[in-house]
Amino acid sequence: MVYGAPRTVRDHVLYVERRLKAAHVAFGHGTLDVRDEAAWLVSGALKIPPDRLTAKLGEVPGRKAVARIRTLLAARIRTRQPLAYLLGEAWFMGRRYLVDRRVIVPRSLIGEFLPEDGASPLADPDIRSILDLCTGSGAIAIAAARAFPGASVDAVDISQDALKVASRNVRLHGLGERVRLIASDLYAGLEGRRYDLILSNPPYVSTAEMAALPREYRTEPALALEAGPDGLDLVLPILRGASRHLTDEGRLILEVGASRESLEARFPDRPFLWLASAYDECVGYWHREDLSDFANDE
């Protein structure tokens, strides 16, 4: 099939889609397919939010805008970096976050359970204190602060680089008085602190999975992804320590990805409750009383 030179914004989206498809780039860092990736790339080059692109599809971009589209497309294909890194921003739960290669691109399924309209299945006016372990860019901590406007949030990460990025996002969202950033190896720096809700999307990629990841994923910090032979290097310490840092009615929400199978195999006699998301069921839910047995497992 012969295509003419792209003219309108719609034409450029279709052109970028064809080029990305031919180059076999990988998705999963804010988009799930080539059409969405193409639309995001064009909207980024045009410097407009992705949700405003539809209104611009019939317009004809100027030469500078076209040059930005071509330059961004070439970089996406050549470097195999996630588009979020090339744009310096990502979108999570409909809001913009600043990102770079010091953090993974925010995409946790936990976000689905933190809507700002009060319709969260976790909704509880008694939730006043929240912990986000392995906060990275701070996206989950910020989403939690918005979903629970009466709560304070501690956002923890072992990476000082990640906390610098998270600090920028806390300022961007105007939540400096409610979201506190803490450098800590999981619970190590939280002695004596207890929370009504602990959230965590920790590293959970097994060594074998890590080796098989597309190049886009391997441009992200390995510290935020790789978690040992079975993907449980951080999941298990989080489960073991959670009961000591939850209030009596506290709850833990933990995303484990493909390591769900390893976790269930390790504890075949323990029931697990997995929250159903739009894409997968790998987000576990525990009340404090359900976690006491994990504290004795070494």
List pLDDT tens digits, range 154-194: 999 999 999 999 999 999 999 999 999 999 999 999 999 99
Note the pLDDT of residue 2.
46
If one compares 32 and 137, the residue with the highest pLDDT of the two is 137
pTM of the model: 0.94
Q: How confident is the model at residue 1 (pLDDT cuts 50, 70, 90)?
A: very low
For the residues of the chain, what is the DSSP string, one character each?
---PPP-SHHHHHHHHHHHHHHHT----SS-SSHHHHHHHHHHHHHTS-GGGSGGGTTS---HHHHHHHHHHHHHHHHH---HHHHHTEEEETTEEEE--TTSPPP--GGGGG--TTS--TT--TT--EEEEES-TTSHHHHHHHHHSTT-EEEEEES-HHHHHHHHHHHHHTT-TTTEEEEE-STTTT-TT--EEEEEE----B-HHHHHHS-HHHHTS-GGGTB--TTS-TTHHHHHHHHGGGEEEEEEEEEE-GGGHHHHHHHSTTS---EE--SS---EEEEEGGGTGGGGG--
Q: What is the pLDDT of residues 194-232, one digit of tens each?
A: 999 999 999 999 999 999 999 999 999 999 999 999 999
State the average pLDDT for the chain: 94
Question: Domain map of the chain by residue range?
Answer: 9-87, 102-296
Superfamily of domain 102-296: Vaccinia Virus protein VP39 (3.40.50.150)
Is pLDDT above 70 for 298? Answer: no
Mean pLDDT across 46-65? 95
| 286 phi/psi in degrees, rounded to 5 | -135, 140
